[in-house]
Amino acid sequence: MRGSGGSPIAFEIHGITLALRAADCERILVRPLTHEKTYLLAGNPNVGKSTVFNALTGLHQHTGNWCGKTVSGAEGWFQHRGERIRLIDTPGTYSVDAETAEEAVTAEMLREIPHDLVICVCDATCPVRGVALAIELLAAGERVVLCMNLIDEAKKKRIVSDLAAISDRLKIPVIGITAKKKRTLTPLLDASADTIRCNSQFHDISHAEALEIASGICKETVSMPENPNRRDERIDRILTGTVCRYPVMIVLLLLVFWLTMVGANYPSAMLSRLFSQICMILHHAAETVHCPQWLSGALIDGMLRGTGWVISVMLPPMTIFFPLFTLLEDIGILPRIAFNLDSRCAKCKACGKQALTMTMGFGCNAVGVTECRIIESRRERLIAILTNALVPCNGRFPALLAIVTVFFAGDDMLSSFRSACIMTGLILLSVLMTFTASALLGRTILRGQPSSFILELPPYRKPQIGALIVRSVLDRTVFVLGRAVITAAPVSLLIWILANVSISGQTMIQRFADLLQPFGAMIGMDGVMLLAFLLGLPANEIVLPVALTAYLGQTALTDYDSFSSLHTMLTSHGWTQLTAACFLIFTLFHSPCATTLLTVYHETGSKRWTFAAFLLPTLIGILLCTAIAGIAYLL
C-alpha cells in the first residue's frame, strides 16, 4: 500500500505493518531467511575435542554460559555448503548419565539446547569408550556422527580401525580424521550434512551395557599390537617413578621460572621506556593546549603511568609463562604432576586435582580459583579455593625477582641461575605452606575424608605450537592482563592523589605510612611497605613502585633504572637483608588481589568464604614475618 505520490510505502512483515519512505525502501537489502543448524560436540576428555572445535570454527568463536549455570564453554560457527553452522563444545564426559559435574552439564546441554546433530569425538588409539558414548547418545535418541580423531597417532602405534565395519554395526557415519590437518575435516562435514535421523537399535541402555557392547564391536573391528603404549609407559617410569618424580618436577619448575625471568627482562625494559616516552609526549601536548597541571598530572602521571607500569612488568612474563605452562599441559605432563602429588593431597584431606589448580595459580590466582570447578567434592573445592593464593601469581614474580637479585643473588655471571634457584626455593616453600594450610582446614572447619581420585592420564602428544600460542595468549594472557589494567587504573589515580595532597607539609601517603610504622616494625618491615601492600590490593604488580614513590617523595609511581639503583634507594631507607627476607615472605603470603577475591565470591557465593580467602594468607604472612623478625632481634 502506497501513500499519496507513491510515498510512504506500507508493507507487512512477520505480522507487523511498517511504513517507510520510498527512498529508504530502495536502500534496504533483502535476503531470504536461511536456517542455521546447531551441532553439539561431545566426547571423552583428552580426545582432541577442543582441537576439532578450533579447526572447524577458527577465530569465529567466543566463550558463553549455558543452562543457567556458571559453567563456561566455547561456542563458534562455520560455513559449509552455503549454510551457517553453529557449533557448541560440551565438557568432556564418559557417559550421558550425570555422575560428575562435567557429565551433569553435558547431559543438561543435550536436553536443553536445541540442536540438529551431535558429533561424537573418539580417540582412535583407544576407541572403546568413545564408541560406548556414541551408543549411549543413540540410545537417547540423538542424531550422531562418530568422529575417530587421532588417526595419525593410531597408525604410529599400529592400531587399525575398520571404520566401515564400525559404521555398519552402529548404523551411523564413522569418519576418521586428524584434527590438526584441516583437509581431513571435509568428509566429516559432508557426513554431518547428509546424516538423517534413523531409528536406533539401542534403547534404555546403561553405561556398563554400552561399554560391553562397544568392547565387542572394537574387538571385532580394531586390530592393535599387544602393547601399543610401550613408549608412554617408559616415560611414565621416569615422571611418575618413586626415585625420579620429585626431582624431575623440581627441575621442570626451575627451568620454567628461569626461562620466564631471563626472557622477560628485555621486553619489560623496552615497554617501560615506551610508556615513559608516551607520557613525555602527552605532557608536552597538555602544555601546548594549556591543560590544567592537576588534570594532566592525574591522568598522565597517575592513571597512564601506573597502568603502563603494570603492563610493562606483567605482559612479558605472562607471554612466556603461560605458553610454557600450556606446553606442559599439551604434552601430558601436568596430569602426571597431579598424580604424583595426590598422596600428599590425600594426607591433607584434600583432592589430588588441587595440584592442577595450584599450578594454574602460578599464572593467576583468579584463574586457579576458577579451575577449582574440576574438583567434584564441595569440601575439597573450598580447600583448594581458600589456599590457592598461597602460591605466588605472576604479578608477584617481578618484585620477588628484584629483591632476590638485589639482596641475595648478586650481579655476576651466575646471578640468573642463583636467582632461579632461590625463586624455586620460595615456590617450594609456598607449596609446602599450601599443603600445611590444606591439612589444617581439612582437619578443622572443613573436616572430612578425601574423596576418591579419578584422573585420566592422557598419552604423551606432540603439541600444536600455533594453537598453543593462540590459546595461552588469548585465553589467559590477554584475559588476565585486561582485568589487571582495569583495576590498576583507578588505584594508580588514588596513589597519585595520596602522593600530591599535603596536610601541614606532609603528603597523605607519608601520613598513612607513619600510622602503620609500629606494626610494620613488628613484622620486620616499615609503614611504607605495609601501605604499599594495602594499595597494591587491586594489582600485586604495583607494590614495589608504590613503596619507591613513598620513599622518594615522588608525585607519581616510580620505576627503578637498574638493580643497583634499586639497591641504593632501598638501603638508604634502612633496608637490610632481614627487611628483604620479610618482604619476600610477605610477598608470598598476603591477601590475594581484588580480582581473585571477586572470583572467590563468584565461585562460592559467600562473603564469609571470601573473607576467609583474604584472612588465611594474610595471617600466615604476619605470623611468619613476626617470627623471623623476632628471632633476628633476639640474635
**In the CATH hierarchy, which top-level class contains the domain 37-228?**
alpha beta
pLDDT attached to residue 1: 60
Query: From CA 61, how far away is CA 454, in angstroms rounded?
Result: 31
Q: What is the 3-state secondary structure (H, E, C) of 41-59?
A: EEECCCCCHHHHHHHHHCC
Comparing CA positions, the residue from 365, 332, 373 lying closest to residue 72 is 373
Query: From CA 2, how far away is CA 8, in angstroms rounded?
Result: 6
Return the SS3 of 526: coil
pLDDT attached to residue 32: 46
pLDDT attached to residue 619: 95
- Contact assessment for residue 55 and residue 179, using Cβ atoms and an 8 Å cutoff: yes
Write the CB contacts of 34 (distance below 8 Å, at least 6 apart in sequence).
Answer: 83, 84
Strands 83-89 and 72-80: antiparallel
Within 13 Å, how many C-alpha atoms sit on residue 41's CB side? 31
- Contact assessment for residue 439 and residue 349, using Cβ atoms and an 8 Å cutoff: yes
C-alpha cell belonging to residue 131? 564408541
Comparing CA positions, the residue from 570, 589, 575, 572 lying closest to residue 627 is 589
Tell me the chain's radius of gyration from C-alpha atoms: 29
- pTM assigned to the model: 0.70
The length of the chain is: 635
C-alpha cell belonging to residue 602? 563468584
pLDDT attached to residue 66: 36
How far lies 201's CA from each of 95, 137, 139, 140, 601, in Å? 18, 12, 8, 11, 48
Query: From CA 581, how far away is CA 93, in angstroms rounded?
Result: 47
Q: Please, what are the averages of pLDDT over each run of 10 residues along the chain (635 residues)?
A: 66 64 66 70 86 78 39 74 88 79 79 90 91 92 92 88 92 90 88 75 85 92 81 83 83 78 78 86 89 86 80 77 80 81 78 80 82 82 92 82 82 69 87 91 81 69 73 68 74 82 83 91 91 84 82 71 80 90 94 87 90 94 94 86
C-alpha cell belonging to residue 81? 555448503
Torsion sign, CA atoms 208, 209, 212, 217: negative
β partners of residue 325: none
Instruction: Give the alpha-carbon dihedral of 45, 50, 51, 57, to 10 degrees.
Output: 160
pLDDT attached to residue 64: 42
Q: How many CB atoms lie within 10 A of CB 305?
A: 24
Residue spans of beta strands (DSSP E) within 159-217: 160-161, 174-176
Return the SS3 of 464: coil
Domain extents in the chain = 1-30, 37-228, 246-634
- The amino acid present at 170, given as its one-letter code, is L
